[in-house]
Each structure stands twice: as C-alpha cells, then as structure tokens.
C-alpha cells in the first residue's frame, strides 16, 4: 500500500479530471459505494474458485457483531449490489461509473499493489453489441486524449454458459489426458475452474495450453453474431484489435465479449484496463435478469504509463502553481496583506499568503520556489498608502505600486491579458 506524495498526487488529479470529463462525454453518471461489503457478496459475484476469492481478499470479522466483512477487491459486485438495493434499473438502463481504492492481498511488485485504485465503468440493461463496442471505443478515445500510444486491444468471446459447459467438458478430458504436465495450481483447478488454467503464466504449461480445445470453436450462432457485431463496430471506428482465444479474465462472471488493453512499456504488469460482458451477474445476486457490460482501469498503471511516455512534461503540466504569493513584513502590514490575499481569492485567483514571518529576502525565495508568476508585496510604506507592490517573478519587469482597490484587476490583466488582449 502506497503513500501518494504531492508531485505524484497532482498527476493523479490531472488524470482524474481528464477521466471525469471523458465519462461525462459518454453519458456515464457517478456512483460512490462503501469500501467494505459482506464477504459473501464477493464470493457469490466473483466466484469461489478465483485468485481473488481464494487468496487475495482482506477479510475480517466485525468484532462488534461477528459479521464477515471484506475490503472490496473490485467494484462491480458492490455496484450491482447497490443498483439492486436501490432499484436503479426501474428507471431504465443505466450507465454508471465509480472510482476508488481496491484491496487485494497479492505479492507486491511494480504495477501490482495491495491497495490500488480503479476507475470502474458499468452499463446495465443493454443487451446488444453496440454498448460493448462503445465501451471499447471510449477507451481508445481516452488513450488519445491522454496522448498515450502503444496500448493495444485484445478481445475474445466467452460465449454462453451452455457453450462454456460443453467446452469445459472437452477441456477437462484433454487436460486429464495430460495430467502429468499440469502444475499443482492447474491440478487443483482441473475440475473446479479449468478455464482459468488457460490463463496460467507458467512457461512449462504453455505448449499444453496451445493445444487445448478452444472455446471459440464451441460458440453457437447467437454468440458468434454478438461477437461479429462488436468487431464490425470496432472496424467501423478504426480501432485495431487482436482476437486472443486465451483471454478468459480472472473473474467468473463474464460471458460473451471480454477485452483487455495492454502495453509493453510497463514490464510484466501490462494490462491497464480490462472488462467485458456479465449478463448473468445481476440475476445471480438476486435481481431480475438484466444484461450488463463494464470495465475497470488501473490508475497506478495508467499514471505510470503517463510518466513513462511523457515524464517531466506530464509532471510539469500537472503542477498546481499558484498565481500569486503575498509577501508582507511588520505588524502593520499583516492585516491588510491578509485581507488582500482573501480578496484576490474571492476574485478567483490562487494565492499563497506567506505565513511564519522571516526576512523579506527569505519570503521572496519562497515566492520564487512555489512557481507563482507574481509576488504581491505589502511593507510599511504600502500599508500606509493602502497599496501593494507588484513584482513579476518569471520575467524582467520593473516593480510597480498599485492601489489595493485595483489590485485584483491589475493582477488579472497581468496574468490573463486586459480587454484589448495586451499583457
């Protein structure tokens, strides 16, 4: 679990701002769910035999009432729970998003943390391939807006439950014929969750996995048509993709379309965004059956990619520099300087008021270091004449005296140009 220090947190904020604007542009509305839920919710939604539920959840017993609780490892289960609890689907289909920390007890490494952050996007009540495609296309737009290149798209179809069932039987038979080649994880999952074996990263099993029966060959007409529909819209939008038959995703609730956005620039943890369709989950959690489709982005990985691709420049653009630093000296000037700072903030400027005293020189040093473009200086002289001195910090310009009453306007003109566009 990490502390996000100001230089980094400013970059996160800029990322968040971009993402929020982008979500609005596609008609998604915000949701905020609690970070703790009853443990059975995740076991039911994500699946008992998944990495998350088997070994990654931070679960505990509420000392006050003995309830089994878990820090949320992902947002979809909570989002569906909330949507059902508050009957949101009675109002028709919904496009929703949420953001925040998720918790998984994993082995920490670059791009993999125990508290990490996601933006999650869910659409409920849309059955056709258009929403799947729209969610994928919207990701492509975000990468564009963030000037991120080299994130490639992989898609697959997991078909229907029936189709997966038939594939599963053949897959188990195949894997049983090669039992000696299975690692312990795979042996354990052979009957409980064989599809996940295809997702194994064990290099010794890759050949075996290559030769396994492919789910794609078991898809019926309706599934193929849905998958074709998604692909047609992606082609139409000019989004390149690769069909990866081994893309099965780590959670049980998916069906039909699944997708991942992957980069090579972050080492082993290259998936920055992943999702797909989960038409069965709402019913599984006690709701009236309704189709659903969503994805989640890993904020740490995307911010890392921003830094990897835009480094200094990204950090610079995200720096929150104030417009003005207010310098003052002596007991007399303090009150008018304090008032001036407040009235400048009232005029919409970002202002740092020097606190803590110190020499004029040391205050000017602080003013310079904070990145402000202007220093407002109020000494005894200025205080007596109800004025302030304005000093440009980023360019050569003579210092000048301005009446306090005109301070905001003068500063506005300097920073943003006057009505004639002069600076």
Residue ranges binding ligand ATP (CB under 6 A): 74, 104, 106, 111-113, 116, 118, 250, 269, 271-274, 296, 298, 300-301
| Of residues 150 and 220, the one with the C-beta less far from ligand ATP | 150
Instruction: Provide, rounded to whole angstroms, the least separation between the CB of residue 117 and ligand ATP.
Output: 8
Contact 256, 223 (CB under 8 A): yes
Least CB distance from residue 369 to ligand ATP, whole Å?
34
Q: How far apart are CA 232 and CA 136, in angstroms?
A: 12
Q: How far is the CB of 179 from ligand ATP (least distance, A)?
A: 25
Element (H, E) at 353: strand 351-353
Least Å distance, CB 87 to ligand ATP, is: 27
Tell me the closest approach of the beta carbon of residue 47 to ligand ATP, in angstroms: 12
Nearest residue (beta carbon) to ligand ATP: 298
**Judging by beta carbons within 10 Å of its beta carbon (0-12, 13-18, 19+), is residue 73 exposed, middle or buried?**
buried
Nearer to ligand ATP, 304 or 372 (CB): 304
In sequence order, the β-bridge partners of residue 100 are 118
If the CB atoms of residues 81 and 354 are measured against ligand ATP, the closer one turns out to be: 81
Does the CA dihedral 344-347-351-356 come out positive or negative?
Answer: positive
Beta carbons within 8 Å of 382's beta carbon, 6+ residues apart: 333, 336, 388, 389, 401
Output the smallest distance, CB 309 to ligand ATP, in A: 16
Spatial CB neighbours of 243, under 8 Å, sequence gap ≥ 6 = 154, 155, 156, 216
72 or 328: CB nearest ligand ATP:
72
Q: Measured from the CB atom, is 304 or 374 closer to ligand ATP?
A: 304
| Residue 112: DSSP 8-state | B
Q: Is the dihedral of CA 408, 410, 414, 418 positive or negative?
A: positive
Residue closer to ligand ATP by CB (options 295, 414) is 295
Residue with smaller CB distance to ligand ATP, 175 or 248:
248
Least distance in angstroms from the C-beta of 61 to ligand ATP: 24
Among 269, 318, 371, 6, residue whose Cα is nearest residue 146: 318
Which phi and psi (to 5°) does residue 168 adopt? -60, -45
- Which is closer to ligand ATP, CB of 151 or CB of 341? 151
In the complex with ligand ATP, which residue's Cβ is closer, 1 or 64? Answer: 1
- What CA–CA distance (Å, rounded) separates 146 from 184? 42
Q: Minimum Å distance from CB 301 to ligand ATP?
A: 5
Shortest Å distance, C-beta 143 to ligand ATP: 14
Of residues 82 and 99, the one with the C-beta less far from ligand ATP: 99
Q: Long-range contacts for 272-277 (Cβ within 8 Å, ≥24 apart)?
A: 272/151, 272/297, 272/298, 272/301, 272/302, 272/305, 273/139, 273/151, 273/297, 273/298, 273/302, 274/249, 275/121, 275/135, 276/132, 276/158, 276/249, 277/132
d(CA 26, CA 29): 9
Q: How does 58-72 read in b/e, with b if 16+ C-beta sit within 10 Å?
A: eeeeeeeeeeeebbb
Number of H helices, E strands in the chain: 15, 16
Closest approach, Cβ 46 to ligand ATP, in A, equals: 9
Instruction: Strand 271-277: give its sheet, edge to edge.
Output: 29-30, 94-103, 115-124, 292-298, 271-277, 255-263, 151-157, 242-243
Instruction: Please say which residue, 117 or 354, places its beta carbon nearer to ligand ATP.
Output: 117
The dihedrals phi and psi of 59, each to the nearest 5 degrees, come to -110, 150
- Minimum Å gap between C-beta 271 and ligand ATP is 4
């Amino acid at each position: 679990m990490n502390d996000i220090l100001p230089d980094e947190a400013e970059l996160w904020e800029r990322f968040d701002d971009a993402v929020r604007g982008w979500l609005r542009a596609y008609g998604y509305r915000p949701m905020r769910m609690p970070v703790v839920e009853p443990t059975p919710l995740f076991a039911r939604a994500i699946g008992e035999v998944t990495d998350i539920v088997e070994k990654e959840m931070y679960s505990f017993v509420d000392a006050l009432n003995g309830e089994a609780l878990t820090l949320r490892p992902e947002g979809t289960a909570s989002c569906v729970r909330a949507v059902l609890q508050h009957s949101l689907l009675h109002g028709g289909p919904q496009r929703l998003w949420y953001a925040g920390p998720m918790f998984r007890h994993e082995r920490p490494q670059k791009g993999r943390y125990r508290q990490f952050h996601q933006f999650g996007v869910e659409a409920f009540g849309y059955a056709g391939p258009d929403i799947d495609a729209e969610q994928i296309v919207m990701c492509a737009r975000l990468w564009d807006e963030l000037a991120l290149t080299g994130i490639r798209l992989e898609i697959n179809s997991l078909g229907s439950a029936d189709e997966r069932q038939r594939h599963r039987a053949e897959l188990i038979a195949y894997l049983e014929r090669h039992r000696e080649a299975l690692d312990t994880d795979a042996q354990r999952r052979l009957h409980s969750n064989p599809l996940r074996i295809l997702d194994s990263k064990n290099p010794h099993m890759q050949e075996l996995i290559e030769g396994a029966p492919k789910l794609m060959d078991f898809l019926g007409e309706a599934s193929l048509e849905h998958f074709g529909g998604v692909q047609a819209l992606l082609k139409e939008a000019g989004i390149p993709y690769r069909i990866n038959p081994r893309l099965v995703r780590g959670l049980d609730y998916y069906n039909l379309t699944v997708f991942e956005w992957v980069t090579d620039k972050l080492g082993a943890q290259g998936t920055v965004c992943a999702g797909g369709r989960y038409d069965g989950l709402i019913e599984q959690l006690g709701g009236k059956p309704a189709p659903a489709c969503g994805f989640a982005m890993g904020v740490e990985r995307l911010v890392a990619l921003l830094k990897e691709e835009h480094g200094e420049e990204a950090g610079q653009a995200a720096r929150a520099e104030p417009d003005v630093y207010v310098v003052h000296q002596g007991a007399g000037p303090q009150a008018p300087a304090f008032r001036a700072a407040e009235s400048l903030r009232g005029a919409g400027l970002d202002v740092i008021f020097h606190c803590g005293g110190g020499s004029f020189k040391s205050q000017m040093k602080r003013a310079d270091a904070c990145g402000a473009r202007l220093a407002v200086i109020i000494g005894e002289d200025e205080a007596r004449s109800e004025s302030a001195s304005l000093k440009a910090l980023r360019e050569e310009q003579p210092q000048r005296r301005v009446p306090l009453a005109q301070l905001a306007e003068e500063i506005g003109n300097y920073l943003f140009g006057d009505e004639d566009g002069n600076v």
